[in-house]
A = this chain, B = another copy of it.
């Protein structure tokens, strides 16, 4: 950590900072510049309470030098981690497309969806049984019954399933129904108690980025899960909130490249929630894979016009097939397959 003292900082103030640094078990290196004095804290700076340093007299600002995350960083773990979802590897050479409807509605809908996922060549299926809706008056999902329908339809096609967990009290039910990967939604990225709980189980977790979470906060949210012992984490970029109102979110492709550099864990992209409209999905999907994403989480519905939720952003089964074709071409250009 670097502590920058104010121009007029006294010797006494400098000494007080040095004393505090030593209390945290670090050594201090003082550098007296023309306009300011700098104090470097040498040692395990993660031990230092930065806010407390900032509150000392004469301190202008302080800056961390070492990254606050340990387990998820690529710094100490150079090779890519491949996460296994029910036998399907995510983060390896093969790009994985997880497809399925926004929400589980009925058994026939799920059966048709599972068949379409399989036919398109996707190896993993998505579907929401518990839905986070901004309005208490909107459809909230089919719940446990939905899980059951989902499991049945996916098993028929031999597809592992991915579904969102919102309430910590529902975790045991997810394990009973043998959900293959637990999705943590954008609104729960910093629901720390939920993160701690999924950190204690042995299931892959797909961690969506918070609506306006920084890369650093996102990595720290993953660190919460990892610190509990569960290292099977997949990041999912789903668009961020900005000033733009012409589309729902802004898909942040730069985040893909930056995450792949910062962490050894896989990174996938949800192009459906990013843009918010089905016609945008192919362009965003191609961009995501071209930028280096390890996979996609795509909404597909057997009959989008009748979907109970997000009807305007689901692909049809035919559109999914076409998309898989294009993505195969792009994967090949960068030395991958699909």
Contacts and interface: CB of A to CB of B under 8 A. Distances in A.
Looking at A52, A274, A275, A292, the one whose CB has the most chain B CB atoms below 10 A away is A52
B286 A334 contact: yes
Say how many copies of this protein the assembly contains.
4
A27 to B, nearest CB: 9
B287 A253 contact: yes
Nearest to A192: B132
A288 B287 contact: yes
A34 B42 contact: yes
Interface in A1-59: 2, 4, 7, 29, 31-36, 38, 40, 42-44, 46, 49, 51-52, 54-56
Nearest to A257: B283
A324 interface: no
Interface in A230-266: 239-247, 250-258, 261
Nearest to A1: B33
Contact of A310 (B51, B216, B253, B257): B51
Interface stretch (A89-97, A107-115, A120-128, A183-191): A183-191
Given A283-B292, A304-B55, A254 B250 contact: yes
Contacts of A310: 51
Contact of A283 (B31, B42, B256, B309): B256
B275 A254 contact: yes
B34 A44 contact: yes
A70 to B, nearest CB: 8
A63 interface: yes
Contacts of A290: 283, 286-287, 289-290, 330
A38 B244 contact: no
Contact of A66 (B35, B52, B75): B35
B311 A284 contact: no
A214 B244 contact: yes
Contact of A31 (B31, B46, B306): B31
Interface stretch (A79-87, A148-156, A163-171): A163-171
A135 B220 contact: yes
Contacts of A257: 275, 279-280, 283-284
8 contacts: A2-B63, A4-B65, A38-B65, A68-B134, A167-B193, A286-B290, A286-B291, A330-B330
* Interface pairs A-B: 6 shortest CB-CB: A329-B333, A290-B290, A212-B212, A286-B290, A287-B287, A187-B190
Interface of A: 2, 4, 7, 29, 31-36, 38, 40, 42-44, 46, 49, 51-52, 54-56, 63, 65-66, 68, 75, 132-137, 166-169, 187-188, 190-193, 196, 211-212, 214-217, 220, 223-224, 227, 239-247, 250-258, 261, 274-275, 278-280, 283-284, 286-292, 304-313, 326, 329-330, 332-334
